[in-house]
A and B are shown apart, each in its own frame.
Chain A
């Protein structure tokens, strides 16, 4: 079954850290660009970060630069997001999504999301 499954969300205090994971199955993970996209409660979608298939190209939205780190392990068919120095405004459902190419194809498969809540 072709799917993406996120995990690792939860409640964390401001300034804390969390590591999200995304497990891919049913397709050739190493062929795809992967991204993290988040959605604050009741709000719209915000792209957070992407990583190329070989990890050679990475980018982040300005608001998380220096705090979040995206990585992947193609041998384990897994994508990660290390989130440090978390703020209340990082509270959101975090989705992982795949794209066969960057700049010419959108995300055609999304996971179900994992909720991150930053609160004291």
Chain B
């Protein structure tokens, strides 16, 4: 199985900051990578697919980059609604795998 490794595990930031989360795949996955946002007690919500394609309705302050094995999610001008846990996920194989998550918390 492809292993997905996110860093950092926790990130402390302030309103208005720009933050970047990194996701690394154990083998090349082209651009078949998604990013999800999850808030406590809620289901994950899809933010980005194919590494950089923003889902309709997702604010443009979210952006994704990368291909192959290294990917990033950047949130610019952090807003109160953005404090949550973020997961990357590869869908290049029949067995999907997720990163362990990055919690973005208020500094």
Task: Give the B-binding residues of A (Cβ under 8 A).
Answer: 35, 37, 44-47, 50, 59, 61, 95, 99, 102-113
Size of the B side of the interface (Cβ < 8 Å), in residues, is 23
CB contact between A104 and one of B87, B91, B97 (< 8 Å): that residue: B91
Task: Give the A-binding residues of B (Cβ under 8 A).
Answer: 32, 34, 36, 42-46, 49, 55, 87, 89, 91-101
* A108 CA / B101 CA spacing, docked (Å): 18
How many inter-chain contacts with C-beta < 8 Å in the A-B complex? 56
Which residues on B sit within 8 Å (CB–CB) of A103?
A: 32, 91-94
B43, B44, B95 pick with most chain A CB within 10 angstroms: B43
* A102 CA / B91 CA spacing, docked (Å): 8
Which residues on B sit within 8 Å (CB–CB) of A45?
A: 36, 44, 87, 89, 98, 101
Which residues on A sit within 8 Å (CB–CB) of B32?
A: 103-104
